[in-house]
Structure formats: C-alpha cells, structure tokens
Amino acid sequence: MAILILGLIIFLGAHTLTTLRETRAGLIARFGENGYKGLYSLVSAVGLILMVYGFGSYRAAGYIPIWDPPVWTRHLAIPLVWLAFIAIIATYAPPGKIKGWLHHPMLVAIKIWAFAHLLANGDLGGILLFGSLLAWAVWDRIAVKKRGDLGAPASASFTKGDAIAVIAGTIAAGAMVAIHPYVIGVPVV
C-alpha cells in the first residue's frame, strides 16, 4: 500500500504542479522548456510505474474490503467506461461536437473512468487509487476554469472527429473488456 501511495503522491504531485502556474513558470525558466518537459515526463513515469506496481502488490497481498458494491454498480461501470474511452479519443481527434461539449475531454474521461471504478470497487486500494484520481481531475478542472482556459470550442455540427471518437472509443473500450482479465487481473464481465 505504501508504494501505491508514494506513486500517487509523485504522479499526482507532478500533474498538480501544472496547475501552479507561477511555480511551473519558474521551473521552465530554470530548466528551459525541454528540460522542464523532460523532468515532468520522468517524474510522471516514475509515479505511474510506482502506482501500477503498488496497486498490483496491494491486490496480490489481498484486498482490504470497505464496502460491498451492489452488482448493478458493476453493470453501470461498463457504459461509463465506454463513455470515458470516447472522451479520451475525442481529446486527440480533430475538433467536433463531442470535444466542444466536453471542453476538456481528457479531464472528463478521467473523472468518468475513476467514478465508474469507484462504483464497482469497494476495497481500500481501489478507493484510494480511483478516489485520488477523481479528486485530482476535479481539482484540475477547477484550476483550468480559474485561469480562463475554456477548452475546445463548440462545434455547430458533428464532424469526422466525432465519428473517430465514437468508433475508436468503442473499439478501445471493447478491447479493454477483452484484455482486462489478462492485463488488470480482473474480468469485466
């Protein structure tokens, strides 16, 4: 559990740093744009590796149950994660109505994904991991809004970007359902 917590602190700490604009600007001035990006990427990668390893170690040692989610929450998690995949793809797809509706689709994807996993998992490690990511995404959305970043502009009509988001998001979500037992160790259905 300690490694999971350390990974969360490092990963989310690095990502929270981007919301502290003066501190971020100071680091860019000190290390240069590329130096800052390299350091940010390295620290984020270390945090992510520790999170994954820590969560895997926690699961291998045995879950610490906090509550027993009803079966319907697991069924609700599946379409929510599908929507999260569409939002993730919309982040990188050409502009479209979905991206415009969501404004910051990556943050929306993280919030939906984390919330869905909180619904389906009632153990301490899951609550810690998914709750922390959800809290960070809410924090970051507030920070983005405070600095006046309106995100993706609204689109008058559906575009190729929307088709890409829905089709690729659906394929990615389906692939995750198929590989989840092998990669994560827990079957989705």
Distance CA 87, CA 127 (A): 23
Alpha-carbon distance 102 to 150, whole Å? 10
pLDDT of residue 155: 86
Is 140 a residue whose pLDDT tops 90? yes
- Which residues have C-beta within 8 Å of that of residue 132, sequence separation ≥ 6? 8, 12
Query: What CA–CA distance (Å, rounded) separates 189 from 48?
Result: 26
Under 8 Å between Cβ of 102 and 152: yes
Q: Residue length, the chain?
A: 189
Q: What is the pLDDT averaged over residues 109-124?
A: 96
- Structure-token pair, residue 1: 């559990």
Say whether pLDDT at 7 is over 90: yes
d(CA 59, CA 16) in angstroms, rounded, equals 27
Q: What is the pLDDT of residues 13-72, one digit of tens each?
A: 999 998 888 999 999 999 999 999 999 999 999 999 999 999 999 999 998 999 999 999
- The residue ranking higher by pLDDT, 23 or 189, is 23
Confidence at residue 97, expressed as pLDDT on a 0 to 100 scale: 95
Task: State what percent of residues in the chain have pLDDT above 70.
Answer: 100
